[in-house]
């Protein structure tokens, strides 16, 4: 014992350690205090597995055991996997197969895989999935992770493993002639992992670096567990902050006494609403000017949801910060709460935003923030003239993002007295602009650094911690770290908007002549993305069938629940679920084959998008037409791969057996950035050795955008991706970009990179012409980092770099390119889902998900495939299990990962991706977006499959066994 600490002797990553340790310190905190930042904190509740380390070769959740418990044992963290400078086969395999997306779960997945392979070097697929079941991944759908473990197994057993490749096939003009490699038919329930399959029309041009399975540019450091994330950094003198949140859904803060907390030795600041100026803002990280209302202040004297901000403290240790929180005495006047969105709109409802200093609320007395009413054509007349009118009402849940890295921010003054915010954000430039007035600093006095991000999915497109962190640094002069607990992720961060969706479809013959969408969106306690999510929902869903008479009516409503915000799918996935379900119901009632009915009506190449001008994002939009689509090809390939019609025929003969199979399909579209609003920029600079710095404001959240943007630059400059030092993003050093949202990165930021690269290419040619003594660049050619004259003489990039910087016509070869588009070309896709329903329990077992995707030119099939696989995983949770549940007082009853069912490795069905390339005229090399589209199709296809199996239409998600069982009983099953 020394100062109450216990002796701890153990072996850590092969090195004998002897020290004294506080017996109350967890192994997680102990290891991170040693700067072993590869050990991640995801929940501190033993639910997520991010903190997994090996103790005597067995996976252990380090948050659940004390450091003293490893006395006499051997501990291995990811930092100990590498031997003699060589990555362990597991690390190598994860890097090579594309198993790493955000990389936050990667150390835990790899250590778990190592433990499995040490015990069983040739595990089966089921054994791999069972072993990985304790470590959640929110990005990948586990497909490439399972593949990586198999590859590592082969490497360990001395089997030869070739380069990871994707399957490429030419798309025949006659779609009936399309043949898939045998495994993609999944005959005899074959369960193995398949690589993405890419169909390319013969008319598309060849590319050198685009379209290849390029390994991620940040893959090695993530495989090695390097300190790459926001919290993997400890400035000297850093204080630990903690946030006091409201226990009430609706209350006034009558009195707040922080004197005892302030008096605690080691507590450096306690801030309440009495300490901060009342500066209004909107927390959604969007372009200037953000839509009104600006309905938040950093700390308020009223709380509007359980989890709302009350006070924030900074102290020497996390434990002391928590103790200080407990010593803040708050007297509340508890007010009636409106938890349900329909109740919140009624006469006499509690008014959630009754403050007088907020502008821009449509009808504050009924908690209606926005009312949207946009129409093209004459919908009522078209309904009156229709042969048939179909209507349906649908409800969708308040899904939680569940990204594995909690929100975290570290703030500090730099040596020039500028405020630095190192934060886990999707929108560094919006953070800088929005936080500046809140903390009384000029925009130029703030620097925002976005390191690697452990997933975001829209949840980090929001200003949640940065203002409070900066306030504490201002108050103390010290660096401050503020992180949400996992419970706060559920109750204080953002979620998907729950929606009540009513579609009405008018049909004449087999043509959809009119569609009306009446939507109520619940934005929770603050407006955030309330307006834009619903506008996008209206635009995208009404554009799918693009009726000439389309009407969008929408109310966006406050409730006393945690605010909703941006979440992948952005309103569209909810409304497409409703629309596609009603379309199939209509087809069934009309006696028309569902695919024929949809095909007859879906938007076609060259069609004007009727509502595009009226529904922009928070403002009017721009006229657009559909410039590329492979909807027909995607549907035809999906029908073939799933043997759709034969299965539907066979399932009709199942009778009333207990377990019934079904197959469903849906078609979906999305967008690529926000037309006329999203702007990205990139800078490329040549170095002495002919390499380049690629500096981008774009924000890679784990999507692989840094890699695909480098592939675009490589394509223009004819040099490998490895020649680029890629950096994103830092508001001091990288050019502006709106950030990662609205499916804009490939399309908008990719356009910026292409523009920058083309300017640099021209400068390279000009300098080469000088060096070669030529007047013109017209006859020069670039091949493999070298510029050739017609006579065969040449100069290499290295020679050009050295010459331009040191010798001849000295100047820096560099350029900054920007890009904005007045179009947002929709990617299109067909989704197929196969299920088995247990009619006695209501359990729906999903057996296969297949998405056939047109995202324009596929820049990197592995990273794009990963986006689709992970998107389907999140969509599956949305349909089957993921909901945040509140009691009548507005308290969330399942605010931990153990109670919120996100899909685990062993629960996932077969998850397949096929791409059909198109060449969109406005996208960089023909590319469109992929990430949000990926989440849009599973809900309607799965509901269609359940109907195919049981005859029941499910209209409210998620499809819990109880709901399905009740619906079956109502239907007489």
Closest CB 867 distance from ligand FES, rounded Å: 11
Tell me the β-bridge partners of 370. 556
Q: Which is nearer to ligand FES, 42 or 697 (CB)?
A: 42
Name the packing angle between helices 143-156 and 861-880 (round to 10°): 130
Cis omega before residue 390 (within 30°)? no
Closest CB 99 distance from ligand FES, rounded Å: 8
- Regarding 146 and contact with ligand FES (CB under 6 A), the answer is no
- Regarding 455 and contact with ligand FES (CB under 6 A), the answer is yes
Closest CB 401 distance from ligand FES, rounded Å: 11
Piece of 97-105, 261-269, 532-540, 624-632 that binds ligand FES (CB under 6 A): 97-105
Binding to ligand FES (CB under 6 A): which residues in 401-420? 404
Is 446:421 a contact under the CB 8 Å cutoff?
Answer: yes
Piece of 9-17, 134-142, 792-800, 811-819 that binds ligand FES (CB under 6 A): 134-142
3-state DSSP assignment of residue 437: helix
Q: Which is nearer to ligand FES, 404 or 515 (CB)?
A: 404
- Chosen residue from 138, 186, 529, 636 binding ligand FES by CB under 6 A: 138
Closest CB 225 distance from ligand FES, rounded Å: 13
- Regarding 621 and contact with ligand FES (CB under 6 A), the answer is no
Tell me the β-bridge partners of 367. none
Closest CB 702 distance from ligand FES, rounded Å: 5
Q: Tell me 805's DSSP state.
A: I
Closest CB 908 distance from ligand FES, rounded Å: 13
Q: Which is nearer to ligand FES, 142 or 370 (CB)?
A: 142
- Chosen residue from 70, 78, 137, 959 binding ligand FES by CB under 6 A: 137
Piece of 77-85, 137-145, 499-507, 599-607 that binds ligand FES (CB under 6 A): 137-145
Q: Which is nearer to ligand FES, 150 or 401 (CB)?
A: 401
- Chosen residue from 105, 149, 578, 713 binding ligand FES by CB under 6 A: 105
Most distant CA pair in the chain: distance in Å?
Answer: 87
Q: Which positions from 357 to 396 touch ligand FES by CB under 6 A, shown as an x/- string?
A: ----------------------------------------
Query: How many CB atoms lie under 10 A from the CB of residue 89?
Result: 21
- Regarding 149 and contact with ligand FES (CB under 6 A), the answer is no
Closest CB 52 distance from ligand FES, rounded Å: 13
Is 918:926 a contact under the CB 8 Å cutoff?
Answer: yes
- Chosen residue from 59, 98, 458, 702 binding ligand FES by CB under 6 A: 702
- Chosen residue from 10, 104, 184, 602 binding ligand FES by CB under 6 A: 104
Nearest to 110 by CA among 40, 43, 159: 40
Phi then psi for 697, rounded to 5 degrees? -80, -15
**E-strand stretches of 62-184:** 74-76, 167-171
Closest CB 501 distance from ligand FES, rounded Å: 30
Is 491:562 a contact under the CB 8 Å cutoff?
Answer: yes
Piece of 103-111, 151-159, 289-297, 724-732 that binds ligand FES (CB under 6 A): 103-111
Piece of 132-140, 380-388, 474-482, 963-971 that binds ligand FES (CB under 6 A): 132-140
Closest CB 915 distance from ligand FES, rounded Å: 21
Strands in 52-55's sheet, in edge-to-edge order, are: 15-21, 6-12, 74-76, 52-55, 58-61
Is 758:717 a contact under the CB 8 Å cutoff?
Answer: no
Q: Which is nearer to ligand FES, 38 or 571 (CB)?
A: 38
- Regarding 140 and contact with ligand FES (CB under 6 A), the answer is yes
- Say which residue the tokens 């409703």 belong to: 578
> Which DSSP helix (H) or strand (E) runs through 815?
strand 814-820
Two tokens at 717?
Answer: 């400059």
Phi then psi for 873, rounded to 5 degrees? -60, -50
Closest CB 611 distance from ligand FES, rounded Å: 35
Q: Which is nearer to ligand FES, 66 or 400 (CB)?
A: 400
Rounded to whole angstroms, the Cα distance separating 348 from 336 reads 11
Closest CB 104 distance from ligand FES, rounded Å: 5
Q: Which positions from 662 to 701 touch ligand FES by CB under 6 A, shown as an x/- string?
A: ----------------------------------------
Piece of 68-76, 138-146, 204-212, 381-389 that binds ligand FES (CB under 6 A): 138-146
- Regarding 228 and contact with ligand FES (CB under 6 A), the answer is no
Q: Is the dihedral of CA 631, 637, 642, 647 positive or negative?
A: positive
Query: How many CB atoms lie under 10 A from the CB of residue 461?
Result: 30
**What does the DSSP assignment read for 351-401?**
PS---TT----SBGGGTEEEEEEEEES-HHHHHHH-SEEEEEEEEE---B-
Q: Which is nearer to ligand FES, 219 or 702 (CB)?
A: 702
Rounded to whole angstroms, the Cα distance separating 284 from 494 reads 10
Q: Which residues contact 300 (CB under 8 A, 6 or more apart)?
A: 253, 273, 278, 308, 309
Q: Which is nearer to ligand FES, 420 or 701 (CB)?
A: 701
Nearest to 246 by CA among 765, 921, 891, 928: 891
Counting residues that bind ligand FES (by CB under 6 A) gives 12
Q: Which is nearer to ligand FES, 404 or 493 (CB)?
A: 404
Rounded to whole angstroms, the Cα distance separating 263 from 690 reads 59
Q: Which is nearer to ligand FES, 826 or 870 (CB)?
A: 870
Rounded to whole angstroms, the Cα distance separating 516 from 506 reads 9
- Regarding 112 and contact with ligand FES (CB under 6 A), the answer is no
- Chosen residue from 28, 78, 139, 862 binding ligand FES by CB under 6 A: 139
Is 410:448 a contact under the CB 8 Å cutoff?
Answer: no
Q: Tell me 204's DSSP state.
A: S
Piece of 9-17, 95-103, 305-313, 363-371 that binds ligand FES (CB under 6 A): 95-103
Closest CB 902 distance from ligand FES, rounded Å: 10
Closest CB 873 distance from ligand FES, rounded Å: 10
- Regarding 102 and contact with ligand FES (CB under 6 A), the answer is yes
Closest CB 871 distance from ligand FES, rounded Å: 13
Q: Is 207 exposed, middle or buried (0-12, 13-18, 19+ CB in 10 A)?
A: middle
- Regarding 751 and contact with ligand FES (CB under 6 A), the answer is no
Rounded to whole angstroms, the Cα distance separating 859 from 868 reads 14
Closest CB 139 distance from ligand FES, rounded Å: 3
Closest CB 701 distance from ligand FES, rounded Å: 9
Rounded to whole angstroms, the Cα distance separating 439 from 472 reads 10
Name the packing angle between helices 644-651 and 631-642 (round to 10°): 50
Two tokens at 835?
Answer: 């299920």
Q: Which is nearer to ligand FES, 38 or 291 (CB)?
A: 38
Nearest to 107 by CA among 131, 141, 128, 80: 80
Q: Which is nearer to ligand FES, 239 or 864 (CB)?
A: 864
Q: Tell me 231's DSSP state.
A: T
Is 207:264 a contact under the CB 8 Å cutoff?
Answer: no
Piece of 98-106, 185-193, 705-713, 907-915 that binds ligand FES (CB under 6 A): 98-106
Is 733:695 a contact under the CB 8 Å cutoff?
Answer: yes
Is 146:128 a contact under the CB 8 Å cutoff?
Answer: yes
Two tokens at 575?
Answer: 């409304």
Closest CB 355 distance from ligand FES, rounded Å: 39
Closest CB 483 distance from ligand FES, rounded Å: 17
Q: Which residues bind ligand FES (CB under 6 A)?
A: 101-105, 137-140, 404, 455, 702
């Amino acid at each position: 014992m020394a100062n109450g600490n216990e002796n701890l002797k153990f072996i850590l990553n092969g090195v004998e350690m002897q020290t004294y340790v506080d017996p109350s310190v967890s192994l997680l905190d102990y290891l991170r205090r040693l700067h072993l930042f590869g050990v991640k904190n995801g929940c501190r509740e033993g639910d997520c597995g991010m903190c997994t380390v090996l103790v005597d070769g067995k996976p252990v959740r380090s948050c659940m055991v004390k450091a003293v418990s490893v006395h006499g044992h051997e501990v291995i963290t990811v930092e100990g996997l590498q031997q003699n400078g060589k990555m362990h086969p597991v690390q190598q395999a994860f890097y090579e197969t594309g198993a790493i997306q955000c990389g936050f779960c990667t150390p835990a997945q790899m250590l778990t895989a190592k433990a499995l392979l040490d015990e069983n070097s040739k595990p089966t697929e089921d054994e791999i999935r069972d072993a990985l079941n304790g470590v959640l991944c929110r990005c990948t759908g586990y497909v490439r992770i399972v593949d990586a473990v198999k590859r590592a197994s082969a490497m360990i057993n001395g089997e030869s493993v070739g380069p990871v490749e994707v399957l490429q096939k030419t798309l025949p003009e006659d779609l009936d002639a399309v043949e898939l490699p045998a495994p993609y038919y999944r005959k005899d329930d074959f369960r193995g992992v398949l690589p993405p399959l890419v169909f390319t029309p013969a008319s598309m041009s060849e590319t050198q670096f685009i379209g290849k399975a390029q390994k991620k540019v940040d893959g090695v450091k993530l495989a090695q567990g390097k300190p790459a994330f926001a919290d993997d950094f400890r400035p000297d003198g850093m204080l630990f902050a903690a946030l006091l949140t409201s226990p009430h859904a609706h209350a006034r803060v009558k009195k707040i006494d922080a004197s005892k907390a302030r008096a605690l030795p080691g507590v450096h600041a306690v801030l309440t609403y009495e300490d901060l100026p009342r500066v209004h803002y909107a927390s959604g990280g969007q372009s200037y000017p953000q839509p009104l209302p600006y309905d938040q202040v950093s700390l308020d004297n009223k709380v509007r949801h359980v989890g709302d901000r009350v006070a924030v403290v900074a102290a020497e240790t996390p434990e002391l910060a928590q103790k200080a929180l407990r010593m803040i005495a708050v007297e509340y006047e508890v007010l009636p709460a409106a938890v349900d969105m329909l109740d919140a709109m009624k006469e006499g409802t509690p008014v959630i935003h009754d403050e007088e200093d907020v502008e821009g609320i449509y009808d504050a007395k009924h908690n209606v923030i926005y009312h949207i009413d946009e129409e093209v054509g004459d919908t009522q007349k078209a309904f009156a003239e229709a042969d048939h009118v179909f209507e349906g009402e649908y409800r969708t849940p308040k899904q939680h993002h569940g990204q594995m890295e909690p929100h975290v921010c570290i703030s500090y003054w730099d040596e020039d007295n500028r405020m630095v915010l190192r934060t886990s954000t999707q929108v560094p430039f919006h953070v800088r602009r929005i936080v500046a007035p809140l903390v009384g600093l000029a925009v130029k006095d703030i620097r925002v650094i976005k390191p690697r991000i452990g997933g975001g999915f829209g949840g980090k497109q929001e200003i949640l911690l940065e203002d409070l962190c900066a306030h504490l640094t201002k108050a103390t002069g010290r660096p401050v770290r503020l992180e949400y607990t996992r419970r706060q992720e559920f109750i204080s961060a953002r979620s998907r908007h729950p929606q009540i969706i009513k579609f009405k479809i008018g049909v004449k013959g087999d043509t959809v002549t009119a569609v009306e969408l009446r939507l109520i969106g619940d934005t929770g306690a603050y407006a955030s993305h309330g307006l834009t999510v619903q506008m996008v929902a209206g635009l995208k869903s009404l554009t799918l069938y693009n009726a000439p008479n389309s009407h969008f009516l929408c109310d966006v409503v406050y409730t006393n629940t945690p605010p909703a915000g941006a979440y992948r799918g952005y309103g569209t996935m909810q409304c497409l679920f409703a629309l596609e379900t009603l379309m199939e119901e209509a087809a069934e009632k009309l006696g028309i084959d569902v695919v024929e009915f949809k095909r007859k009506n879906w938007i076609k190449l060259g069609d004007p998008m009727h509502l595009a001008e009226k529904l922009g994002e928070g403002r009017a939009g721009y006229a657009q037409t559909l410039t590329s689509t492979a909807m027909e090809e995607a549907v035809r390939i999906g029908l073939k791969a799933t043997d759709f019609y034969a299965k539907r025929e066979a399932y009709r003969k199942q009778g009333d057996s207990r377990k019934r199979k079904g197959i469903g399909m849906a078609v979906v579209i999305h967008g690529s950035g926000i037309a006329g609003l999203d702007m990205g920029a990139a800078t490329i600079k040549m170095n002495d050795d002919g390499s380049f710095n690629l500096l981008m404001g774009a924000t890679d959240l784990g999507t692989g955008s840094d890699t695909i943007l480098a592939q675009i630059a490589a394509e223009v400059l004819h040099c490998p991706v490895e020649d680029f030092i890629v950096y994103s993003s830092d508001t001091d050093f990288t050019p502006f970009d709106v950030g990662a949202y609205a499916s804009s990165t490939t399309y908008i930021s990719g356009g910026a990179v292409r523009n920058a690269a083309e300017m640099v290419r021209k400068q390279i040619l000009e300098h080469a012409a000088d060096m070669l003594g030529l007047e013109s660049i017209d006859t020069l050619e670039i091949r493999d980092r070298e510029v050739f004259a017609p006579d065969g003489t040449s100069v290499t990039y290295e020679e050009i770099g050295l010459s331009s910087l040191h010798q001849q016509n000295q100047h820096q070869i560099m350029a900054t390119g920007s890009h904005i588009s007045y179009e947002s070309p929709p990617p299109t896709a067909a989704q197929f889902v196969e299920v088995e329903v247990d009619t006695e329990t209501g359990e729906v077992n999903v057996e296969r998900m297949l998405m056939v995707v047109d995202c324009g030119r596929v820049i990197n099939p592995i990273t794009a495939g990963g986006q689709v696989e992970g998107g389907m995983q999140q969509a599956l949770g949305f349909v089957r299990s993921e909901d945040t549940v509140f009691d009548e007082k507005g308290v969330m009853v399942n605010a931990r990962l153990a109670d919120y069912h996100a899909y685990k490795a062993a629960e996932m069905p077969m998850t397949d991706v096929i791409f059909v390339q198109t060449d969109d005229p406005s996208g960089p090399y023909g590319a469109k977006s992929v990430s949000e589209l990926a989440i849009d199709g599973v809900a309607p296809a799965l509901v269609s499959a359940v109907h195919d199996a049981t005859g029941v239409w499910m209209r409210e998600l998620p499809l819990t066994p109880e709901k399905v069982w009740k619906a079956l009983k109502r239907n007489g099953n």
